[in-house]
Chain A
Amino acid sequence: MLIAIIYLLFSFIMENIMGNIFLSTLSNISFFTTIYTVCALVVLLPYFANYKKYYILVGIFGLLFDIVYTGSFFLNFFIFIVIGVVINFLYHILSENIVMTNLISIVCIGLYHILSFFILSITNYADYSIMLLLKVILHSLIMTIIYTSISYLIIKWLYNRFSIRQVK
């Protein structure tokens, strides 16, 4: 559990660090953007036998995302929970390996942007086009694959090296 929390915290802080390195605006989207916390949630699920604890972590980090980064109220909490459910579902139908983990990561990053886009558009917070949504998802692909692959290998190595059991 400790490794999972540290890894999630690290990914959470990475949002800020990488956001300052690969600058991204609506008119100039970097090819190296992703939602690192969502990638971390994807990589971590197979190490949880107790899904209740997993969803608690998902909720906490969704709330933190709301408070620290977006200033929204329970929006990212809701999106993260939905993503958590989708991750769980996808791991039940797909096998757990680096390719599938990357695939799930890409689906979840896409889902994050789609949900954010629709909720913000429906609630009249801002006015964005579908083309921008597609552009953002496409620009997220490279970093999502890089971060998920590196994380997958490191976390797997850590759990094997120290014979850590699944979180129960």
Chain B
Amino acid sequence: MLGKKRKSIPKKYIVIALIVLLIIILVGFSLTLKDDRKLNPAESVIRDAVVFAEKVITYPFKYISKEVEEYNELKDTSRDNDILETSLDRIDSVETENIELRRQLDELKEELGIEHTLSDYEYLNATVVSRNVGFWYNTLTIDKGTYSGVAKDMVVINAKGLIGRVIRTTAFTSEIRLLTTSDTNNKISVHVSDGDTNLYGLINSYDYNKNLLEVEGISNTKSVNVGDYVYTSGLGGIFPSGILIGTVTEITTDSYDLAKIIKVTPSADFTDINYVSILKRKSDGE
């Protein structure tokens, strides 16, 4: 025992081992931090159970805040009523026009043998149960999952426009990645419309300082005006077409003066999302 000396590992090996471990961990994260990662059954069950418990616990808080909000809205009812009365007269004519257009669309579809267009979808309403915890993930959790027919990549909107898309589902919850994420992997195809012409581009990034989405890929020779509406184009296979994203706020050109860079103010208010609708695009295969 006396002659035995405890061997100490040289410091440089410890440092190398730590670096290797760190690299392995980072590679592991880069493989798992993907929207297409499916939750395993254990994760799904735990998430459903905790979200359900949280829903029960947070119900009184939500109820009180909803009542306060409704009371505040009630104060503005008289003013809103006057505005609504003026637009009420137009509803009948718009509805008649809508019926006629739908009839024409159905006839054209029948003639061309198309069952569904890119703008056909079904609605499913849901409530937001948790939002952006941990801050960096920019996600919302809603109370509808695969049990209600929600699937990955379905589009989520609210009354004002596009919110994001479903990235993960469990039986009773779904996680939504918001549109306002500078996500380099997912570009959304959009069309910019002034009512007469349609131009196609891609949402490339999000400027969180100004709350503006950046659309690229529109030739500099084309004309775009501030105030033009930006919709989903339906190209790319995920988003149905015709969902309002926002309005054009700023127009600049790229460094080569070849393409326009269009800044778009999102129509949806991302700080105030309580209820959402999930859209399921009808496909010709259905």
- Give the chain A neighbours of B58 by CB distance below 8 A: 13, 16-17, 20
Encode B156-194 as 1/0 by CB contact (under 8 A) with A.
Answer: 000000000001100000010010111111000000000
Give the residues in chain B near A69, CB-CB below 8 Å: 130, 133-134, 137, 141
Q: Which of B30, B167, B270, B272 contacts A27 (CB 8 A)?
A: B270
Across chains A and B, the number of contacting residue pairs, with CB separation under 8 Å, is 139
CB <8 Å contact, A25 and B175 = no
A125-B46 CB under 8 A given contacts A13-B57, A15-B133: no
Interface string of A110-130 (1 = CB under 8 A from B): 000100110110111111100
List CB contacts (< 8 Å) of B241-286 with chain A.
270-272
Collect the chain B residues with CB atoms within 8 Å of residue A54's CB.
Answer: none
- CB of B209 within 8 A of chain A? yes
Contact (A123, B43) CB under 8 Å given A27-B208, A73-B37: no
| A147 CB–B CB distance under 8 Å | no
Q: How far is the CA of A64 from the CA of B208 in the complex (A)?
A: 29
Report the count of interface residues on B (CB-CB < 8 A).
52
| A residues near B205, Cβ cutoff 8 Å | 127
Asked if B26 is at the interface (CB within 8 A of a chain A CB), the reply is yes
Interface size class of A (residues with CB under 8 A): 35 or more
Is A134 part of the contact surface with B, judged by Cβ < 8 Å?
no
Contact pattern, A 17-42, Cβ under 8 Å of B = 1, otherwise 0: 10111011111110001010000000
Q: Would A125 and B33 be within 8 Å (CB), given that A20-B58, A68-B47, A68-B50 are in contact?
A: yes
Q: Is the CB of A23 within 8 A of B271?
A: yes
B199 within 8 A of A: no
Judged by a CB distance under 8 angstroms, whether A74 is at the interface is yes
* Residues on the B chain within 8 Å of A152, using CB: none
Interface of A is mostly: helix
Contact with A along B15-45 (1 / 0, CB 8 A): 0000000000110111011000101000100
Contact A71 B182, CB 8 Å, known A120-B33, A126-B138: no
Inter-subunit contact A72/B25 (CB<8 Å): no
Contact between chains at A74 and B134 (CB < 8 Å): no
What is the distance, in angstroms, from B64's C-beta to the closest C-beta of chain A? 10
Chain B 120-149 near chain A by CB (<8 Å), digits 1 or 0: 000000000111111111110100000000
Query: Would B138 and A26 count as touching, CB distance under 8 A?
Result: yes
- Collect the chain B residues with CB atoms within 8 Å of residue A15's CB: 130, 133
- Is the beta-carbon distance between B182 and A128 smaller than 8 angstroms? yes
Instruction: Tell me if A67 is interfacial: C-beta within 8 Å of chain B.
Output: yes
Q: Is B51 an interface residue (CB 8 A)?
A: yes
Query: What residues of B have a CB within 8 angstroms of the CB of A33 in the complex?
Result: 135
Which of A67, A113, A127, A131 meets B43, CB within 8 Å?
Answer: A67
Q: Is the CB of A24 within 8 A of B33?
A: no
Task: Decide: A71 and B139 in contact? CB cutoff 8 A.
Answer: yes
Residue A95 at the chain B interface, CB threshold 8 Å: no
B175 contacts which chain A residues (CB < 8 A)? 71
| Residues on the B chain within 8 Å of A120, using CB | 33, 136
Shortest distance between the CB of A155 and any CB in chain B (Å)? 20
Q: In this assembly, does A163 line the interface, its C-beta being within 8 Å of a C-beta of chain B? A: no
- Nearest CB of chain A from residue B79's CB, rounded to whole Å: 25
Interface residues of A in 61-85 (CB under 8 A from B): 64-65, 67-76, 78
Could you jot down 13 A-B contacts, CB within 8 Å? Answer: A19-B130, A19-B131, A20-B130, A25-B178, A27-B180, A27-B208, A27-B209, A27-B270, A71-B139, A72-B33, A72-B137, A131-B209, A136-B135
Given contacts A25-B178, A126-B138, 5 further A-B contacts (CB under 8 A): A15-B130, A26-B180, A64-B50, A73-B32, A124-B185
Residues on B lying within 8 angstroms of A by beta carbon are: 25-26, 28-30, 32-33, 37, 39, 43, 46-47, 50-51, 53-54, 57-58, 61-62, 65, 129-139, 141, 167-168, 175, 178, 180-185, 205-206, 208-211, 270-272
4 A-B pairs with the lowest CB-CB distances in the bound complex, closest first: A73-B32, A123-B30, A26-B208, A69-B133
